[in-house]
């Protein structure tokens, strides 16, 4: 029988890893498509944010379940890794959003001249 919270902890790590990989993979995919440009990779920002939030929520759930349980498990440590990866995914998505906003601002200012 698995320890309580271990499934949530593993899910947290997986969601965090996918959150981190979403934007780089979307940007990498632009290199192989003629119709798909770098600016179109911005659709991956909400996906990365959603997965980062899921990772943090699963990590929290795992920590609560392991705190309530009497069985010892590796859940809290793994949940901490999942929480870190989720926060890192959110930071990458925030940086991409800022970059997209700066690009839009520069396009706007450039079109005014």
Q: For residue range 21-53, what is the model confidence (pLDDT) as tens digits?
A: 999 999 999 888 888 888 888 999 999 999 999
Q: If pLDDT is split at 50, 70 and 90, which confidence band does 68 have? A: confident
Q: pTM of this prediction?
A: 0.86
Q: What is the mean pLDDT of residues 2-26?
A: 88
14 sits in which H/E element: helix 6-29
Residue 41 domain boundaries: 6-111
Q: Would residue 55 count as lying in a domain? A: yes
Domain count, the chain: 1
Cβ atoms of 59 and 8 closer than 8 Å: yes
Q: Would residue 46 count as lying in a domain? A: yes
CA dist., res. 34 & res. 53, Å (int): 32
Cβ atoms of 16 and 84 closer than 8 Å: yes
Q: If pLDDT is split at 50, 70 and 90, which confidence band does 1 have? A: very low
């Amino acid at each position: 029988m698995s320890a309580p919270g271990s499934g949530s902890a593993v899910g947290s790590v997986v969601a965090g890893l996918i959150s981190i990989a979403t934007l780089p993979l979307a940007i990498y995919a632009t290199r192989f498509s003629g119709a798909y440009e770098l600016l179109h990779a911005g659709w991956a920002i909400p996906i990365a944010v959603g997965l980062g939030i899921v990772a943090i929520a699963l990590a929290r759930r795992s920590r609560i379940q392991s705190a309530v349980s009497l069985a010892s498990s590796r859940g809290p440590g793994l949940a901490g890794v999942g929480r870190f990866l989720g926060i890192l995914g959110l930071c990458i998505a925030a940086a991409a959003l800022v970059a997209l906003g700066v690009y839009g601002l520069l396009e706007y200012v450039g079109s005014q001249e």
